[in-house]
């Protein structure tokens, strides 16, 4: 029983990593109606920028704010320079462009900052949280920030004109244009926001997994998984999905005999797919009706 509790807690702590990334995934999905395969690498790159600023002697919060701001600008710039010219290209061509961006960011980060792991500071410290040895204050802080970001996104998409316009632009660009929404800029701002949220996620994840160019490979996979499991159009669902995956994975590794140890990743992914069979739009996602 104690093991179960510990694995669930450890799973929630790891799940916070996925949940954080899943929010960034939902953000970009709301903006471009698609996933961005380079999102993890963008977050990694933002985190390296913050790390570099700290190395140059800037205070943590200065580095944090500058990195988030630069990421926003960078996200907008990537959309304007790279994806605007091919926004009429087939979806698969755009996916290949994401792959190209992935390769460029990953390789240049390795070249600039090399591959040895680096520690990244946390404002929350690494002390015990409420006496628990399994979750530390940083992980608790990360869960807190994820929930705050979630509230922010919820309010943004439901309550602000910009958020509504952005959703409209992504869901139905033609109609949105007719009612006077500048679809192109909505997409660009969506990219910027996704990059900024990714930067926050990266800076929260790095203290746990250590900073290095390949740190987001697995995180992004589970971030996608979490977002898809919870529902790509539901920020709350995505966060719940991220936490769920962390817990499922730990329980599979601990309690599934014979297969569990080596195949826990596979088992977690199969669970996601199985859930999608039953709820094809995710647990909290809204079903879309296809028009002929």
Q: Which of residues 133-172 bind other proteins (CB under 8 A)?
A: 133-134, 136
Q: In this chain, which stretch among 63-71, 166-174, 218-226, 233-241 interacts with other proteins, using CB under 8 A?
A: 218-226
Three-class secondary structure assignment of 102-161: HHHHHHHHHHHHCCCCECCCCCCCCCEECCEEEEEHHHHHHHHHHHHHHHHHHHHHHHCH
Contact set for other proteins, span 92-121 (CB under 8 A): 92-93, 95-97, 99-104, 106-108, 110-111, 114-119
Residues 235, 232: Cα–Cα separation, whole Å? 7
43 lies in the binding site for other proteins (CB under 8 A): no
- Residue of 120, 97, 111 whose CA lies nearest to 43: 120
Nearer to other proteins, 165 or 239 (CB): 239
Residue closer to other proteins, measured from CB, 124 or 222? 222
* Min dist. Cβ of residue 62 to other proteins (A): 23
Identify which range of 51-59, 145-153, 183-191, 260-268 contacts other proteins by CB under 8 A.
Answer: 260-268
Q: How many of the chain's residues bind other proteins (CB under 8 A)?
A: 82
Mask for 67-96, x = binds other proteins (CB under 8 A): ---------------x--xx-xxx-xx-xx
User: What are the DSSP calls for 72-97, one per residue?
Assistant: HHHHHHHIIIIISTTTTS-HHHHHHH
Contacting range for other proteins; rule: CB under 8 A; set: 2-10, 175-183, 195-203, 236-244: 2-10
């Amino acid at each position: 029983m104690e093991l179960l509790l510990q694995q669930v807690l450890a799973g929630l702590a790891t799940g916070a990593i996925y949940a954080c990334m899943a929010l960034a995934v939902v953000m970009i999905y709301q903006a471009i109606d698609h996933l961005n395969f380079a999102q993890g690498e963008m977050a990694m790159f933002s985190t390296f920028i913050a790390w570099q600023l700290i190395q140059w002697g800037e205070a943590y919060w200065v580095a944090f704010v500058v990195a988030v701001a630069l990421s926003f600008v960078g996200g907008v710039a990537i959309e304007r320079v790279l994806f605007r010219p091919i926004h009429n290209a087939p979806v698969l061509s755009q996916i290949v462009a994401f792959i190209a961006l992935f390769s460029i960011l990953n390789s240049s980060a390795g070249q600039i900052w090399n591959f040895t792991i680096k520690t990244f500071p946390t404002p929350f410290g690494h002390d015990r949280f409420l006496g628990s040895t399994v979750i530390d204050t940083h992980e608790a802080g990360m869960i807190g920030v994820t929930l705050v970001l979630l509230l922010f996104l919820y309010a943004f998409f439901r309550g602000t004109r910009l958020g509504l316009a952005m959703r409209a632009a992504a869901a139905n660009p033609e109609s949105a244009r007719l009612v006077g929404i500048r679809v192109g800029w909505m997409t660009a701002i969506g990219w910027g926001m996704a990059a900024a949220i990714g930067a926050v996620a990266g800076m929260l994840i790095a203290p746990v997994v250590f900073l290095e160019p390949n740190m987001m490979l697995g995180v992004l996979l589970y971030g996608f998984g979490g977002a898809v499991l919870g529902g790509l159009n539901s920020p709350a669902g995505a966060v719940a999905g991220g936490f769920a995956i962390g817990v499922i994975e730990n329980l599979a590794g601990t309690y599934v005999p014979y297969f569990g140890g080596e195949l826990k990743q596979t088992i977690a992914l199969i669970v996601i797919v199985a859930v999608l069979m039953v709820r094809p739009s995710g647990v909290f996602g809204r079903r879309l009706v296809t028009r002929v």
